[in-house]
Amino acid sequence: MKVLLHDDTPAYLCHGGKQVLAEKLYGSLRTLGIEVEHARWWDPDQYSDLIHTFGCSPSMVSMAHQAGVKVVLTHIVDEMTNSSCSRRLWHRTRNAAIREFAPGSVRRLFPWHVLPAIDELVYINQADAETAIDIYGIQRRRTHVIPHGCGTDAITRLQAGAREAASYLVSVGSIVPRKNTIVLARAARRAGVPLVFLGKAFDEDDPYFKEFKALVDGECVIYPGYVSEDEKTAWLVGASGFVLASRAESGCIAVYEAAAAGLPMLLSDRPWARVYGRNPSLHLVPPVEDALAEQLKPFFDTSRRMRACTFPVETWDDIAKRYLAVYQHALL
């Protein structure tokens, strides 16, 4: 079996979770003895039995199938999964009408039209899978739920160190509106709670990033910047709790790293966070400033890093084995 990893989003312009997933799978699949390469669009001699893509490209799917190559998609549905009921109803109704009645020339205007033709689809959580089945007409038998993971060595490092009570809270993520960074920073200042933000903006001249930087005071809003993996691990290990107030996510890798560190969590009361199940160490709060400001202080005062993972976290090698099973199923 030879697998190509493919995506249209260039990491050098917009690095994110998809690239991290691809990097981790690349290493772990090779450890399992699978021949895997990154797709080289310029190389006419590159071949594969299967393409694992991280973006929905109708033309690529069509050309792959014409060449007899199977396609597996890790499908990110974060915004739609976390949309309002009215927006979901509108998209479900519109998409069903397009699938049923629109001519091919119209259907091809919507990239999602190719989803039912993809051989196997992987979702980071069950909420995303149910959204895709409901909104895009995907057959349930073609869907698989595989979460993110954490490196074996990383888990060991994240579980080491002292467990200080109420040291500081930490939030990991890009400084962008979807992560609700400014709302969380304002809430931390109102609550008088030390909250460390780790992440970067896609553009440091962006007004949103500048507004966030103006809130940094070194006491309640602490911003070391975009730090190395070792520094990020040190901040996680030293924290007593983790906070993420995103409006939408699809299995944020930082949440799995925080879980490996044994951090209690305060997360948005949205579908993306409810997938982690009922757990006394998982607390949900509406991702609005007033609610966050009210709950940050009691969460901080009672937070303490645990010796066990906050919820079960698989290694990237285990995750790769689950993807390999999906590849094998696609090739049957």
One-character DSSP codes across 214-245: HH--SSSEEEEES--HHHHHHHHHH-SEEEE-
Query: What pLDDT shows up at residue 9?
Result: 81
Residue 237's pLDDT is what?
95
C-alpha 151/C-alpha 235 separation (Å) is: 17
Listed residue (28, 264, 300) closest to 146, CA to CA? 28
Q: Is the pTM for the entire model greater than 0.85?
A: yes
Q: Which amino acid is at 161?
A: G
Q: Consecutive 10-residue runs of the chain (332 residues): their mean pLDDT?
A: 91 78 96 96 95 94 96 94 93 93 90 94 96 94 96 93 86 94 98 96 91 97 93 95 95 94 97 91 97 97 94 96 98 94
Helix or strand run (H / E) with residue 17: helix 17-31
Q: Which residue, chain included where needed, has tokens 């709060």?
A: 285
Q: Which two tokens stand for residue 3?
A: 């697998």
Q: What is the DSSP letter of 40?
A: -
* Secondary structure of residue 124 in the 3-state scheme: coil
Q: Identify the pLDDT of residue 324.
A: 98
In sign, the C-alpha dihedral spanning 291, 297, 300, 301 is: negative
For the record, the structure tokens of 298 come out as 């009691």
Question: What gap in Å lies between CA 40 and CA 125, rounded to an integer?
Answer: 29
Rg (C-alpha) for the chain, rounded Å, is 21
* Cα within 13 Å of Cα(165), Cβ side: 3
- Domains with residue ranges and CATH for the chain: 2-148+315-330 (3.40.50.2000), 153-302 (3.40.50.2000)
Confidence (pLDDT) at 204: 87
